[in-house]
Every structure is written in structure tokens, then in C-alpha cells.
Structure 1
Amino acid sequence: MSVTDQELHKTPLHALHLELGARMVPFAGYAMPVQYPAGLMAEHRQTRESAGLFDVSHMGQLRLSGPEAARAFETLMPVDVVDLAPGKQRYGLLLTDEGTIIDDLMFANRGDHLFVVVNGACKHVDLAHLQERIGKRCEIVTMFDRGLLALQGPKAVDALQRVVPGVDKLVFMTGAGLVWNGADLFITRSGYTGEDGFEISVPAAQAEALARTLLSQPEVKPVGLGARNSLRLEAGLCLYGNDIDTTTTPVEAALTWAIQKVRRTGGARAGGFPGAARVLGQLDGTVPVARKRVGLVAQERVPVREHVELQDTAGQRIGEVTSGLLAPTLDRPIAMGYVPPALAAVGTRVQALVRGKPVPMEVAAMPFVPNRYYRG
């Protein structure tokens, strides 16, 4: 069934996308730009070499406030919320009672509240989950009407500093409240491309004016969802619904780096999150792990897409690809997928069954392209 434009939500930048000649597609219930006339490859290179501006206003922005907000939020995730310092940002994972992933998200300590950004396709489910589990312990305010812009690339700081002075003081995974033309912004130095860059929360009424101002900077061009996907895959970053979902645990998804020591076995705040017995058991080896997310590089120039079957070298099914494409930066096919732990070591040979033909692949370290976050 096709989704008509009338049934889709529109971001505050909708008219601007049309003016810029974007090809619009349905995504997470919104009409979103998949690419502009320059095309995916040019937009990908623009972000790697200079600066690309992305509309990510479909994402869900939330504010959690009250004296119990941090402790309450920590009960839902295997991450350290309580000790996150003001001005700092962290990656988090909302878990089911079985220890599988409801959503991945970013949250920042703004001093008097937590600022949370969740995935667009999950935001209403996430909101219901938060209200049910911790709604009595803290105030949960939705800011789904705010715009969210991502300015990504090695020259993003030059362009943004000209428009919003002071952003150059931020380092990776920190944020600050700043003002532009009377509009209250919250800017974090983070993103979803592996490059240095920023995410900018802006009132809807000022979103288009800010986007136009950024696009007027010589370093900046608009970039759509297509290049956002190729950039994040080269960076080895998960896409919710493809690489992680309610069938995967953080350990299976190779996201154990996101579980701080204070939440692991032994400390006063260890465990206490949904599915803790399973997740901590997988971490310490007492609960078996059936599969692991790995990076894969094809040994032939054949793109390997999601849902393609993965086999061992004897032709036995071992798993499937969850994300895959021809990497623009590397000019070779890369993918992520799940394989048994015994076949997860870097250098292991497997094969993907593409249109009935086995394509040799090798397990590779991620990120495929080195990250260039600015850490000061």
C-alpha cells in the first residue's frame, strides 16, 4: 500500500527540501529527503570532505526533569546516567525485560533536566514505555515539534562557528545551550556519520531560517537520507530496525562498550535494569551468546544488501546481512550482519548468497572508515 503525501508528517524544513529539488520518500512516518539533485555519491563525499546539512527533525526529542529523573532513567538502561556530568552527552539503550533493545538513543545532562533524542520510528513506543515505567518518578515532556539539524563533516565547525559563535569550544559528546537570532538552541558535538559535527535542536519556527543560513556558508550543502545511511555504515554505526531490534541484546549487537563498569557485576549500581540477568550473564560468559554482529567486506565487487543469507565456506546457513552497500569512500562492498561467535573473529572467511551465487566475504574490524570525532 502506498503512503500518500497527505498521510505523512512534514518536518519544519519540508518546503525548503522541495525548493532544493529533493527526492522525497516516506521514512518513519515523515516525508523525508532521500537525496538532492547532486546525488548520493556527491552528498557522501561532501560530508567526508567539507560539511553536509541533514534534516533529522523526524527524531523524537524529550525532556526528563525532576530530582529523580536521572535515577529513574537509569533503571531502564544498562548505562551510567546518574554520574553523567552537566554538559556531557552519552549513548544509551532502552531494554525489554528480556534484555533486548527497544531503541538506541542519545541523552545529555542539561543541569536541570535530561535532554533525550530517540529514533523517529520508535518515538511513540519509547514515550509510552517511559511513561509506564518512570512517569510517576519524573516529568516527561515531548518536544516532537522542534526541528533537529545535523551539520556533519571536517569543515562543519568552521561554518557553524561563523553562525553561532562558541560552538568551537565543544568537544565530542558535549553540548551547550546557545542563542541564534533570539532562538534557544541546544547544540551537541555529535552525529551519525563518523565525522566531526554537530546536532542542533531548534524551535520549529526558526528551523528553516537557520537551515538557510547554514546552507549559505561556502562549506555547506544539503544531504539526504541516502548518504546518511552510507556514512553511518562506513562508520560501523547501527541502524535501529536493521542491525538492532527487540530480538538482539547489547552483547549480541557488539555494543558492550556502551555498558559502563558501574552497571556491570560487582558495584552498588550493577544490574537493576530490564533483562539484567541475561545481559550480565552474556557479558561474563555464564549465559550463552548465539550470534554476534560483525563487519564484513566482500572480496568481489558485488554489493551485498540487507536480508542476504550468510553461509560458512561449506555453504551452510550461519546468519544474514542486516545492512550492506557499495561504500563510496572505500569503493568496495561492505556490510554488517550476525554470525555465530566462532565465526566472528576478524579475518574469518564466510560467503553471502547473492541471487543464488556465493560471494566471498571476510569479517572486518569496524569502523570501516576511521572516525574523526573532535576530542580536543
Structure 2
Amino acid sequence: MSESEDHTDPAKLPLDAWHRAQGARMVPFAGYEMPIQYEGIVAEHEWTRSHAGLFDVSHMGQLLVSGEGAADALEALLPGDIAALKPGRLRYSLLLDANGGILDDLMVTNVTAEGGEPTYYLVVNGATKWDDIAHLREHLPDEITLTHLEDQALLAVQGPEAETALRRVFRDAMGDLKFMQGTRFSFGDIDIGISRSGYTGEDGFELSLPAEHAETLAGRLCAEIEIKPIGLGARDSLRLEAGLPLYGHDLSPETDPVSAGLAFAIGKRRRAEGGFPGAERVLRLLEDGTDRLRVGLALEGRLPAREGARVFAGETPVGEVTSGGFSPTLGHPVAMAYVARERAAQGAELEIEVRGKRLPARVTAMPFVPHKYYRGDK
């Protein structure tokens, strides 16, 4: 999910001192001082792919939307089938403007307690959270309550050994979760919300807990042999290999869900009924197609293409790179770009202009590295 850089008066994460004690190099990002790396981006990337990494994503916005009619209220702003979301289930969705442009991408979890009022937990991107909150306050009905969980930290443990390590720490308290399922449990005096989700393409979990306990839990988790702290740099290279778009780069208000390859976020019932912002335009694009599409590009050599690089077919400009970098897993550069629909077929040969040179690139399927989400098949 998202976040643009912000170099003005960055705030500090609850774990700021802890990150520095672990040797993190801190940089301004999404309005916060964030750890970009500890021992090196490639080493941290490879550790996460083979073991498990702890990511501090407390800059993200954590919100509760509650009250009778909360699902209908959210469906007036999001294209997902929120009403069908059962308690303990998560769904990826999009906050859309009146033209169907993407204001943010986010996760929605039904956290309604048995016998309690309907309640949904939203995780929104750090750089957009204040705009998202303002948008929600403006458009949600008065009888719906919006709560910003400002005193909560958010930690992600990602990688093939994440479950092994967490079960050693939490034992049976965390329950048996599959991908896109969540629950709550107590760990000593710490109340933790956990979901089996993340943004690396690996199996993993996200943990929401009171910020005052974040350092205690981070230290306990990193005491496990499988887990090391991982910075923002590897988080970006991991999500790129997984073909996951980053808000402010691959997604923006100028981007619609169909061009972005996110039509799966538009529920079947919502396609039939509409009723979400920009529905008329978005449903027309679903029917007729779009002028451009987000595609994956594989490059030869080692020189990566970065955001803003132009994509060519012969001498004709046909698109622009929105995310790019060297793939440690694959051993060559990869990129995401929006290109003209007629040039978006898998296998299409294109060129990317980098430092005055044209680099050969081939349209390839995403994810670049297969997802390893646990869906109950092991």
C-alpha cells in the first residue's frame, strides 16, 4: 500500500528510539522519521524472503468506523462488498472520488463483536491518512462514528518463518488464521489485534497494539532467531517484486481501478448495483476497457528504471514507469509502468529511457515473484 515522501517536520514513531538502538538509518517519509535500513537493503530483503522480518508500519492510519448502517455508509465511499464481509475477515478496497479516481487504497476488517454494533477497522496509508480522515468525516452520515486510533502502533512480521516464530511467542493465543483473516487476543497485559496479511507477497501477519507496549513486543519478537528488524528500503523492493502498487507512485486520483489492474476490488454485487463514487465511469471502463494499463516490465542487465522514466515502442512514447528497481530475488531490474493498452500484451518488447539510453524491456506477468500467502493448503 502507499505513501509519498514528506520532508517537513517529520514526526517520530513510537519505536523511534528502539530503531536507532538497533542501528537503523532514519529518513523522512510520509511525514515521519522512518528506518530505511539496518544492515543493508539487499540483506534485509533476502532475510525476509528466507526467514522473517519485523516492519514498523505505525505511520499508517488506523481507523474505526462504527454504528448501525456502517457497512452501507462505507459502501457509499468504497467499491467493495462490505456488507458481505463476515466478522474476522479482511478486504482490500479503494477510497474513490466522484470521478472514480483513487484517493487511497486501504484494508477493511469487520471487527464487530458478538452482539455489538457493526464496527469496521480500516488501515489507510500514512501520507494520505489526514486527507482520508477529512474525507470520511465529510461523507459519512452523522450517526456513524469515525475514531482515529492515534495511540496504536502497527507492526508487521513477514516471511516464510513468521508463523513459526509468532507461535513460539504467542502459543495458541493467536488462533489459526488463513490469509485475510484476523482476531484479537491478550499477550500478558497487551491487547493485540492480529491479521494474516501484509504487503511483501510473503506469508505474514500484522499486529495492532497500544503504542506504549510497542517496544516491549518488538524486542520480544526480535529475540526469536527467525526475526530481524527490516527497513523501508526492503519493504519497497519486496512489494515491487510482489507486483503490489504503492499509493502516490502507482496509484493517484488520476488513476482508475481498471487501468490500475485493481478491478478485483469491485465486488460482483457492486458491479451490478453501482452506488459507489465514480460508478458510472468505472463500470463503463470495465465494459469498454481503458486507454492504458499498469503492467510489469522485466529489464536486462543491472541498471534499474526509476519512477518517471519514459517507455517507448520504437520512437513512439507509449507510457511511463511508476515504480522500478533491482530485484534481488530475480537478479535483474523490474518495473511497473502504465502503457498504452495496445502495447500491454504479455511478451511485448518495449524500451525504457534511462540516463539517455534506451534499455530493452519486456512486458511480463505480475507478480514478478510468486505470492506465498497461506490459504489453508499446507
Normalising by structure 1, what TM-score? 0.95
Aligned twin of 1:35: 37
Aligned twin of 1:78: 79
Return the alpha-carbon distance in structure 1 between the equivalents of residues 151 and 245 of structure 2: 25
Q: Is residue 20 from structure 1 mapped to residue 27 from structure 2 by the alignment? A: no
Q: Is residue 210 from structure 1 mapped to residue 221 from structure 2 by the alignment? A: no
Task: Report if the CA contact (8 A) 2:159-2:203 is conserved.
Answer: yes
Q: Which of 195, 208, 211 lines up with 1:188 in the alignment?
A: 195
CA distances 1:155-211 after superposition (whole Å, capped 9, x unpaired): 000111122223350110000011112111100000000000000001011011000
1:347-366 pair list within 5 angstroms: 347-366=347-366
Task: Report if the CA contact (8 A) 1:164-1:178 is conserved.
Answer: no
**Cα deviation, residue 318, structure 1:** 1.0
Q: Which of 9, 12, 15 lines up with 1:10 in the alignment?
A: 12
Which amino acid in 1 is paired with 2:301? E
Aligned twin of 1:118: 124
CA distances 1:110-138 after superposition (whole Å, capped 9, x unpaired): 12410110000000000011010014141
Return the alpha-carbon distance in structure 2 between the equivalents of residues 188 and 315 of structure 1: 48
Structure 2, unpaired ranges of 5+: 1-5, 114-118
**Cα deviation, residue 40, structure 1:** 0.4
Task: Report if the CA contact (8 A) 1:323-1:337 is conserved.
Answer: yes
Return the alpha-carbon distance in structure 2 between the equivalents of residues 63 and 231 of structure 1: 28
1:1-376 pair list within 5 angstroms: 3=7, 7-36=9-38, 38-112=39-113, 113-166=119-172, 167=174, 169-265=176-272, 270-285=273-288, 289-312=290-313, 314-376=314-376
Aligned twin of 2:116: none
CA RMSD after TM alignment: 1.1
CA distances 1:48-105 after superposition (whole Å, capped 9, x unpaired): 0000000000000001111111110011011110010111000010000010100000
Structure 1, unpaired ranges of 5+: none
CA distances 1:208-253 after superposition (whole Å, capped 9, x unpaired): 1000000000100000000000000000000000000000000010
Return the alpha-carbon distance in structure 2 between the equivalents of residues 178 and 48 of structure 1: 27
Return the alpha-carbon distance in structure 1 between the equivalents of residues 132 and 280 of structure 2: 22
Task: Report if the CA contact (8 A) 1:300-1:360 is conserved.
Answer: no
Return the alpha-carbon distance in structure 2 between the equivalents of residues 39 and 184 of structure 1: 33
Return the alpha-carbon distance in structure 1 between the equivalents of residues 168 and 196 of structure 2: 16
Secondary structure at the aligned position of 1:151 is classed as: strand
Task: Report if the CA contact (8 A) 1:164-1:179 is conserved.
Answer: no
Task: Report if the CA contact (8 A) 1:321-1:336 is conserved.
Answer: yes
Return the alpha-carbon distance in structure 2 between the equivalents of residues 221 and 293 of structure 1: 33
Task: Report if the CA contact (8 A) 2:46-2:329 is conserved.
Answer: yes
**Cα deviation, residue 16, structure 1:** 0.3
Secondary structure at the aligned position of 1:165 is classed as: helix
Identity over aligned pairs, percent: 53
Task: Report if the CA contact (8 A) 1:95-1:101 is conserved.
Answer: yes
Return the alpha-carbon distance in structure 1 between the equivalents of residues 27 and 123 of structure 2: 22
Which amino acid in 1 is paired with 2:47? Q
Which amino acid in 2 is paired with 1:272? G
Which amino acid in 2 is paired with 1:50? H
Return the alpha-carbon distance in structure 2 between the equivalents of residues 200 and 372 of structure 1: 19
Q: Which moved more, 1:256-265 or 1:186-195?
A: 256-265
Which amino acid in 1 is paired with 2:321? V
Task: Report if the CA contact (8 A) 2:157-2:204 is conserved.
Answer: yes
Task: Report if the CA contact (8 A) 1:53-1:220 is conserved.
Answer: yes
